A and B are shown apart, each in its own frame.
Chain A
Amino acid sequence: MANPIRVLVAKPGLDGHDRGALVVAQGLRDEGMEVIYTGLRQTPDQIAAVAVQEDVACVGLSSLSGAHMDLFPEVVQALRARGAGDILVIGGGVIPEQDIPLLKQSGIAEIFTPGSSIHGMAEYIRQHVAKASVLPPLTGRIDHIGIAVDSIAKSIAFYTEHLGLPLVHEETIPDDHVKVAFLQAGETFLELLEPLSEASAVATFLKKRGPGMHHIAYEVDSVEEALLRAQNAGYRLLDEKPRRGGHGKLIGFVHPAASNGVLTEYCQRIKEHAQ
């Protein structure tokens, strides 16, 4: 027989109504699951910490105070921040119908409002924790690494002559005030970026940090979806919408604060350019 599914039932925020949480906890136990109850007044971070420590497959959140729009998404973010984004998060309580789509966009898989049956909840959990992750992986490949340089002409010899990497593409991107050169290194590219004016973000970067690694670009199927998922997870975006980048791609940037000081780019090949 398979190991029982482990579930954390949690009360985020200050709400003290735990009749529902306690009844669900006992009901899921009677359905054969292992259930841990956090008790009242837990912060999203505390809940995520317990979820990871107890290695649960599902977190069930309960709130009747109207704070669900603030607190439920924070629990999802705190789980993702701990690398536990694969834990199924569900919620219940006094939650208006109109809030449910927004909660789902924020990564809460399902909402069970008053009148829901525990057996129905248990069935839902069984069906959905089986899939290791609620969301498929965003990327499997680094498309390129961007390196800021004062002058492509003066820097390129190291890559072409010393390392022997082929120069595959050169381009000027007027919108960003940069000139770029792509060098192929196996399945990945290096992108040298040279500012064309003071208005360029690369110029600011050079002034502040000097030449060096500027960004990492991950290949994704859809930049639009990648940006939405980053936003839902609480990461700050530099681009709200995908835009045209170099080398015939759609791109979008996430603020370096979201990823340990390294600027993150998502890029997606555009079909029409793949000629």
Chain B
Amino acid sequence: MTMRDDYERWLDSTEAQVAKRPERQTEFRTTSEIPVERLYLPEHGVADDEYATKLGLPGEFPYTRGIQPTMYRTRFWTMRQYAGFGSAEETNARFRYLLEQGQTGLSTAFDLPTQIGYDADHPFSKGEVGKVGVSISSRLDMELLLRDIPLADVSTSMTINAPASVLLAMYLVVAESTGVPWSKLSGTIQNDILKEYVARGTYIYPPKPSMRLITDIFSYCASEVPNWNTISISGYHIREAGSTAVQEIAFTLSNAIAYVQAALDKGLKIDDFAPRLSFFFNAHNDFFEEIAKFRAARRMWAHIMKERFGAKNPKSLQLRFHTQTGGSTLTAQQPDNNVVRVTVQALAAVLGGTQSLHTNSRDEALALPTESSARIALRTQQILAYENHVGDTVDPLGGSYFLESLTSDLEARATQYIEHIDALGGAVAAIEQGYMQKEIHHAAYRTQLEIENGTQTVVGVNKFTSEEEEAPEILRVNPELGRIQTERLAKLRGERAVEPWRQSLDELHRAATATDNLMPFIVQAVRNYATVGEICDTLRDVFGEYRPPLY
């Protein structure tokens, strides 16, 4: 009897049983609406003759099973908790605390004024200074932020986009002033403006000059800061805005294609900058779909880089990514339950082969995390790594009939989306037409309706609710910080040498109207104590500001 015959027999008897005692649902689907069958068989997985093209070996094309041959057997993923609030001094203290607790990389959150290129004393900054991240207006703040941190040994990730060039310049200038050569620096700037228009909202300039700033950074770092990851192309925020897993892959890779194309159009060579591209994904609730998502994204990127762009360097083909657990899955109700959600999401990221990981804190649906919540979040990763043996073999779920089937389904659906975006004229055009935004919004609204009508369960919110809940202790940012930062800025503006400061901003202005690479001018302005707001205003003057269409 063949396995097929065996299966048919099993199916018949099972159907008879189901007729008597129905399954929980008439159909099962992933969050991307991919049907999930009752059972997966070898035929749904990867056939022996497809193995080499679909999976390959770890560290080899198409990298489905991982980008390194040994993965976590050599070194665990980097445990990189995103932190930042209040003043540079407070964040510096939190950084040093996290490093002491065994964290292996830094990740900086900036406040909204910094992210949108306003100094702390700007009227629009009112109420926002130090709230969602650290307030950085000048190189003096950056010096305080990085005080006593060994820049040559620690890799630093900075979640900064529209003014990424300015904050990177500040990091470089601080390294310079403390005698650390730029070749020793490693880290990442997010620098992904396209998803800001789509999902995150901290844009400044219109798409075209924004793309120029990004490619200027690619080119500058290729020669000056060779170990810096010049972009972290982010699906995270797209997913947080409500997209499905398929949309997360498709829109992220479409945006990535647009950056690569922009750099090529500028005359850069693919293998000069592509090895420094990195990615950032979400780890959401649908456990197997998430693991499959990471694997599908790796396979797709390898093909895109090889076939579409003709990259030769293996590093150009490898999709390296950071993962953060899904913030929007956290509930304000029964916040301790979030520890469990985060654990399962983190496990999905690890089984999906992430290079680094941020685990959210249980209280993030309420406020910024307290120190004790942040510690539990880090400990969650350490338990996964050191107690659960999940990293002892490479791609442990590879070959699972279900997982391989799901990986191929996600790939097929995401590829269709990318083809559609190509037909619209690429990611920039699709964003300008509001296409990605509308697709995400529809998915977000569907999720909301499903939660309200009970199709989707959120424990503690629409099922298993508790009446009595104690409000947990939360972190408060010093409300005086806006005033303190304003005074600090007034002092800086009063004490710096005016002539070199003025001259470097004038030169930046001239360069922006021409076609020079802007990075050297921005670095020079930072050296002369120009602030984030002053540099961004200089560029606003030339580039204008982005005004999103309302649709």
Contact = CB atoms under 8 A, between A and B. Distances in A.
Given A27-B445, A37-B550, A65-B132, A115 B461 contact: yes
A26 B447 CA distance: 13
B113 A14 contact: yes
B134 to A, nearest CB: 13
B19 interface: no
A117 B242 contact: no
B333 A115 contact: yes
Contacts of A96: 366-367, 471, 474
Interface stretch (B164-172, B196-204, B403-411, B494-502): B196-204
Interface string B178-215: 00000000000000000010001110000000000000
Contact of B112 (A15, A18, A94): A15
Interface stretch (A67-75, A167-175, A206-214, A243-251): A67-75
Nearest to B437: A22
B442 to A, nearest CB: 9
Interface residues of A, number: 32
Interface string A5-22: 000000001111111001
B385 interface: no
B260 interface: no
Contacts of B550: 37, 39
B60 interface: no
A98 interface: yes
8 contacts: A14-B202, A16-B112, A19-B444, A23-B444, A27-B445, A40-B201, A41-B124, A118-B448
Nearest to A16: B201
> Per DSSP, are chain B's interface residues mostly helix, strand or loop, or mixed?
loop
Given A18-B201, A19-B240, A39-B548, A117 B452 contact: yes
B444 A22 contact: yes
Nearest to B365: A114
B131 A19 contact: no
B127 A69 contact: yes
Contacts of B258: none
A128 B449 CA distance: 24
A92 to B, nearest CB: 11
Interface string A204-230: 000000000000000000000000000
Nearest to A18: B201
A115 B458 contact: yes
Interface in B71-124: 112-113, 115-116, 118, 124
A157 B461 CA distance: 74
A67 B550 CA distance: 24
Contact of B328 (A19, A67, A70): A19
Contacts of A14: 112-113, 115-116, 118, 124-125, 128, 202
B44 interface: no
Contacts of B124: 14, 41, 43
Contacts of B242: 19, 23
Nearest to B127: A70
Contacts of A115: 331-333, 458, 461-462
A43 B333 CA distance: 31
Contacts of A16: 112, 196, 200-202
A40 B548 contact: yes
A182 to B, nearest CB: 46
A238 to B, nearest CB: 25
A66 B368 contact: yes
B477 interface: yes
Contacts of B116: 14, 41
Given A15-B112, A15-B201, A118 B452 contact: yes
Contacts of A39: 548, 550
Contacts of B365: 94, 114
A119 B451 CA distance: 12
A198 interface: no
Contacts of B328: 19
Contacts of A19: 240-242, 328, 444
Interface string A88-123: 000000101110000000000000011101110000
A98 B474 contact: yes
